[in-house]
Every structure is written in structure tokens, then in C-alpha cells.
Amino acid sequence: MRLRPEQLASHLEQGLMPVYLLSGEEPFQIEQGSHAIRQHAITQGHTEREVMYVDRSFDWQQLAASASTMSLFAEKRLIELRMPGGKPGDAGRKALQAYCDNPPQDTVLLIISGKMEKAQQNTKWFRALEQTGVVIQVWPVEAARLPQWITQRMRIREMQPTPEALAMLADRLEGNLLAADQELEKLRLLTGGGKVDVAQVTAAVTDSARFDVFTLVDTALSGETARAVRILNGLRAEGVEPVLVLWALTREIRTLCSMSLAMQQGDSPAQILTKYRVWDKRKPPVQAALRRFPLKRWHGLLWQAGEVERVVKGQAAGKAWDELLQLTLKIAGTPLFRAASA
């Protein structure tokens, strides 16, 4: 069966299919869809996850072997097959068709692929996936559909935009769904949720134009610890809200998580910078940050940013600016505490 991305949530409420294929060139929607499938699989007992990366050296016998192997702990499994090129080759076509002919019980196969051309969609292996499970092709959100998409993302955050605010957001967020979603998250932090009007959107956009907030981010990415501390202290002295600084840092960490994952999957630095539309001026600090930490470390920093948000919002003990300082220093690669010498 084929589904649109917005139909996935209601489909998952009805149960899991043995195979899912998500393909396309819109990374934000691909990640959102695959995350939803993973999370639902976990709630259904698929707690064992195996990830395979398809590159030129990939042995497709691994898929057959994994499908025929029982879990060591008799748990339900999720096999995640990442195929960025979108072309499995002769061996892959045969392996996928054989898998669909006899999908193993208690196993979900999630295939995450690049864009597939019309010719590929007419092949036997693609039709086998479609007949056995669910195929979701992700396309960029057109301008006419963007207000609906924004409304949906705001509803998840318990925000209700006025028609005028929605029109302004659609006009200013077109072109990059990841950046658009990050802007909506910043808006939630600044407004606290609920009804959102034009004045609040305008204020958020004005705040995001503060040059020094983004200078802080790039300085931390570059590893310039002393300068980053000076900028952070300057922002505090100017009366900048901690939530704005946190938003800028969190946005960058989240993007670097996605970039680091792409690098782990075999994408070249040039491909990653192009995909995420990194300006020439920002390429050196972003590349420095990607070299500094592996994906696991960026995930850890994203978790810490969530803890800082609790402090900023008064939900946890601590001082907001002290927590922001610690987060900034960690991004810059400076350890806060050193082990005492023996």
C-alpha cells in the first residue's frame, strides 16, 4: 500500500506492517516518519533493533541471515536498512524480493532510502515491497501546502496561530522544513504555547535577527572558548533572554546530530554541507564541530540542552546562565572539570 506522510500516524494506530519503505529527498520528513515507526515498534514490543548501511561493499546476504536468525532473547525485532542511493543493485533486488516473499514473524523491516525514480517504482522488487508493506514517498512541501504543515507542527506543540500569524509564518519559513520546525520550537519557547498572534511572530523574528546570538554559536563551534565566554557574558549584560540563547544552541546541536548521522552513513562533508545549505562563511566552524565529536556525543549534548531548558523554564533547580555557560563550553570542546593529578 502507499501512504502520504501525513497518513502515517493514523495508520500506525491500526497496527504494524512487516515492511516500510520511506524514500525521498526531504530529510526532515524522512526522519520524522522513521522516528514515528521506530517509536511505535517499541511500544509493540520490537525492542531489538539492527541497523544496516547499504554501500558498495554491503553484502545483501546479511539481510537474509538476519531474517532467518532468531533473537537471542526471543524479542520482536526492527531491522533498519539505510539505502541513501536508492538503488539496491542486482543482489539487493533479489534479496528484497525474497524477503517480501516470506517476511519473518515478529520482525519489522524499515527501509530508509533516497529518492526513487519512476523506473525504479515499476520494478518487481519495488512492487513486492508495496504489496507486502507500506511505501511512503516524501516530497518537498509546496508553498500551497505549507500553512497546513505549519498548523500541524504547531498543534503538536499546543500552539494555535491566528490566520494572520499563520500567513506570516508561511511566508518566512518556506524552503527548509528543518529550519522551519526549529523556528516553531523557538516560538514555543518564547510564547509558552497557546494562541500565537502576529505581534508574537514579529517579536520572535526580530529576536532571531540578533547577530551576537549566532556569533556565539559559530564561535563555540570553532572551539574559541574564551571568545565564546565573552560573547555569552555580553548577551547577558544586554538583557537577552536565556531562552533565545538556548534556542540558538539547541537548533545547532540538533542540526549537527543529523549531519553527523549522514557522515556516519557515508555521505561526504561536501554533500552534507550542500544538503543542509551551510553558507560558505559558516562551513569552517561547522566542519570543525563535526570533526570534534562523534554522533553519540552530539546526542548527549542534545539531551543536556533539554535539561537546560528545564532550568530556564523554572522546572529544575539551577541558574540559567550558568547552565548555558556549561553547554557552550561543552560545544566548544572544553572540559569543565579535569581529573586531579595523582
**Could you read off the pLDDT of 135-175 as tens digits, one per residue?**
999 887 877 888 989 998 999 899 999 998 988 888 777 66
| Shared-domain flag, residues 54 and 107 | yes
Q: Which domain holds residue 319?
A: 211-332
Query: How many structural domains are present in the chain?
Result: 3
Residue 260 has pLDDT above 90, yes or no: yes
6's enclosing H/E stretch is none
Q: Pick the more confident residue, 157 or 180.
A: 157
- Which residue, among 149, 133, 138, has the nearest Cα to 115 in the 3D structure? 138
Domain assignment of residue 342, yes or no: no
Whether 14 and 128 map to the same domain: the answer is: yes
Determine the Cα–Cα distance for residues 172 and 180; give it in Å rounded to an integer.
Answer: 9
Does a structural domain hold residue 340? no
pLDDT score recorded for residue 207: 46
Q: Which residues does 254 contact at the CB level (< 8 Å), separation at least 6?
A: 182, 302
Asked whether residue 19 carries a pLDDT value surpassing 90, the answer given is: yes
- Mean pLDDT of all residues in 288-297: 94
Beta bridge partners of 194: 159
Residues 177 and 194 in one domain: yes
Domain end among 190, 208, 226: 208
Residues 160, 182 share a domain: yes
**Does 338 have pLDDT greater than 60?**
no
What local confidence, expressed as pLDDT, does residue 183 receive?
83
At 256, the pLDDT band (50, 70, 90 cuts) reads very high
From 3-17, 172-186, 226-240, the region with the lowest mean pLDDT: 172-186
Angle between helices 225-237 and 320-332 (to 10 degrees): 160
Position 205 scores a pLDDT of: 59
Start-to-end CA distance of the chain, whole Å, equals 64
Provide the pLDDT for residue 173.
Answer: 77
CA distance linking residue 49 with residue 190, whole number of Å: 37
The domain boundary residue, chosen from 185, 208, 231: 208
**What kind and span of H or E run contains 165?**
helix 163-173
- Both 9 and 69 in one domain: the answer is yes
Residue 106, strand partner residues: none
In a domain, 339, yes or no: no
pLDDT of residue 340: 40
* Cα angle: 246, vertex 248, 250; to 5 degrees: 65
Residue 222 CA to residue 190 CA, distance in Å, equals: 27
337 in any annotated domain: no
Residue finishing a domain among 95, 113, 138: 138
In a shared domain, residues 319 and 219: yes
Q: Which of the listed ranges 60-69, 230-239, 283-292 does the model predict with the highest average pLDDT?
A: 283-292
Per-residue pLDDT at 258: 93
**pLDDT tier at 40 (50, 70, 90 boundaries)?**
very high
| DSSP structural state of residue 280 | G
pTM for the full predicted model: 0.57
Give me the pLDDT at residue 246, please: 93
CB of 190 within 8 A of CB of 206? no
Within this chain, do residues 197 and 218 fall inside the same structural domain, yes or no?
no
pLDDT, position 341: 38
Q: Are residues 164 and 215 in the same domain?
A: no
Nearest to 138 by CA among 48, 236, 265, 25: 25
